[in-house]
Structure 1
């Protein structure tokens, strides 16, 4: 009696010549648990500063409604920050890529976004490693389906070498399980983890997230980190950072979409506030909040069919982001025992006046990597 052929192996052959829009997905979490978490976050305490009820980072993109809203925002020609970021990434990557060109790396993309940046990376890396795997990881299965279209169809990356993973990578146990899965999948071959699109800045505790990622890096692995940067740290610049996000209606539609699709709250964009402030004297923090500035209390229906009272002045934090100074990046990487291998920074040039904002792309190695010296890191941070 012959051994049965595993369904995964048969499925690969079954899909090889099928032009239907199939997409494979490895689901790592119970989605009812995620809905319960979101519901609990929306029951937070009363706060007039956006520090009570909240939509935490991954939930901003969770579900088909927020995914479509994000796609619309990224395609909005008035969302200049997104446009400038996409254009600058290719220039930055060209300077970073030689450091991973010869290592036969596989790509693990944390937070897939639109997939445009993954496409750039995959087109380059696959020339040196045609057998490489592409593992995009995101909390939203809808984002994974949308985001993988660009690299798979646009870059013609083989679907048989793509493994989308639905997982909230901000949870320590989830990252540990992902790391074990990847080790079983590729053995000791090196991994390039990417956290692009200023995703790090969206988490309330950015250092904690970076520490979690560092813990799963092996000596041969690397982390590609892209963040928004600033050369000035003052109240006026913080307000300008908030205004960047306030300029496009499509972005406002995106940041309110999680509330729109998971509650019965009637969204009035006039109640959405964009607040910029200096954080810890080395970064600009932007909080986007919904605030009840009406004259009456509001009742909001939650996914479990219960209600929560929103008194006058109460807030719901919709989104958090940051712009980092060089000092903040140095503090974060040193705290996480990460050594810069390469760092490329450029300023935005879409305004007539000098602009303090830009993007920085860093290739980082764990401290356990023996071929990276502290002298290199010192040279980078001294620039």
Structure 2
């Protein structure tokens, strides 16, 4: 008696010549649990500073409404930070590419975004490894659906794409993902990517980076992109907050999770962009909804219960940062990561000198035995 053919293998052949927009998705979490988490976070205590009720990173992109709002924001010509980031990524990647392109990496994209950067990476990596797997990971299945289409439209084989719905900020999830990927690729190396300044969106960025680092094997690498600053003062913090205040599409995006999961009436006049210096080595930007209406507001949650928002109460909608060289050095040393290469450039879209820019870092786990690149020595020097 012949062994039955696994359904996945049969499905691959069934979809090979079908021009319908099928996409295969590996679901790693119960979505009910995510809704419970979101509801709990919106029941937080009273706070005038955004440290009570909040929408944690990942939930900003969770669901079709926030996904569409994010896609609209990335295409807004007034969202200059996004435009500058897309342009600098290609330049930075060209300088880092020689370290990875000939080593046969598979690509694990943590936080797929629009897929534009993954398209660039896959195009270059595939020249030396035509059999590489593309494994985008995101908490939002809708974001995965949108993000994988960029590489596929550019010619990357659909049969080598496996999107994974998973919240990679949870340590147990990341451990399970690392074990599954190791079984999938064996000893072949994995290039994990965390681009678009995603690290900055988490309350505890060191904890997240440590969670990612613990799954890196000696042969694996992490490509990390962060926003940077050469100044650490309140004026620079205010300027960082103002970057996000310039585009209405971004405000629509950061409020979209509230719009689609509660009955709160959203006015952009109640959305605040607050910048501050964090730990003397980074600029922190909090984007808040604040009840400045002069009277208490009631908000219905996804479980149909209500919370009262007193005058002055806030809901933190989004968190981001700009990193100094000292902060990046502290984070990578704490997580036992070696900078193999680090490329930095300043934003060019203003006439006046600008302290802000972007850095792209190729990092190796300490166990790899890699020596830090001389350019990285210059950047990390204090």
Q: TM-score, normalised by structure 1?
A: 0.98
- In 2, the alpha carbon distance for the partners of 1:305 and 1:382 equals 54
Query: Post-superposition shift, 1:134?
Result: 0.5
Query: Does structure 1 residue 274 correspond to structure 2 residue 273?
Result: yes
2:184 is the counterpart of 1:151: no
CA contact (8 A) 2:213 2:365 kept: yes
1:109 corresponds in structure 2 to 109
Tell me the residue number matched to 1:265: 264
SS of aligned partner of 1:278: strand
The answer as to 2:234 corresponding to 1:239 is: no
**What residue number does 1:250 align with?**
249
Q: Aligned residue for 2:213?
A: 214
**Count of residue pairs the alignment pairs up:** 382
1:53-202 residue pairs with structure 2 within 5 A? 53-154=53-154, 156-202=155-201
Name the counterpart of 2:34.
Answer: 34
- Please say if residues 104 and 188 of structure 2, whose CA atoms lie closer than 8 Å, have aligned partners that are also in contact: yes
User: Which 4+ stretches in 1 moved above 3 angstroms?
Assistant: 373-380
Do the aligned residues in 1 keep the contact of 2:340 with 2:373 (CA within 8 Å)? no
**Per-residue deviation, residues 275-323 of structure 1 (Å, max 9, x unmatched):** 0000000000000000001111000000001000000010000000000
Distance 1:87 1:311 in 2: 43
Which residue pairs with 1:360 in the alignment?
Answer: 359
Structure-2 residue corresponding to 1:295: 294
CA contact (8 A) 1:342 1:380 kept: no
1:60-92 deviation digits (Å, cap 9, x = unpaired):
000000000000000000000000100110000
Q: How far, CA to CA, are the matches of 2:278 and 2:174 in structure 1?
A: 28
| Superposed displacement of residue 380, structure 1 | 4.2
Once the 2 structures are TM-superposed, how far is the Cα of residue 153 of structure 1 from its aligned partner?
A: 1.2
Q: CA separation of 1:72/1:269 partners in 2, compared to 1, >3 Å: closer, same or farther?
A: same
Q: Which residue of 2 aligns with 1:315?
A: 314
Work out whether residues 241 and 286 of structure 1, in 8 Å CA contact, stay in contact via their aligned partners in 2.
yes
In the alignment, is the contact (CA less than 8 A) between 2:342 and 2:375 conserved in 1? no
Kept in 1: contact 2:340–2:362 (CA 8 A):
yes
Aligned pair in 2 of structure 1 residues 375, 246: CA closer, same or farther (>3 Å)?
A: closer
Question: Which ranges in structure 1 are unaligned for 5 or more consecutive residues?
Answer: none
CA contact (8 A) 1:271 1:290 kept: yes
What is the CA RMSD across the aligned residues, in angstroms?
Answer: 1.1
Q: How high is the TM-score relative to the length of structure 2?
A: 0.99
Secondary structure, aligned partner of 2:127:
helix
Q: Given that residues 223 and 364 in structure 1 are in contact (C-alpha distance below 8 angstroms), is that contact kept between their aligned partners in structure 2?
A: yes
Aligned equivalents of 2:356 and 2:301: distance in 1?
Answer: 38
For 1:292 and 1:159, the matched residues in 2 are separated by: 47
- Tell me, in whole angstroms, the C-alpha distance in 2 between the residues paired with 1:371 and 1:273: 44
State the alpha-carbon separation in 2 of the partners of residues 198 and 192 from structure 1: 17
Contact 1:114 1:146 in 2 (8 A): yes
> Any gaps of 5 or more consecutive residues in structure 2?
none
Once the 2 structures are TM-superposed, how far is the Cα of residue 379 of structure 1 from its aligned partner?
4.3
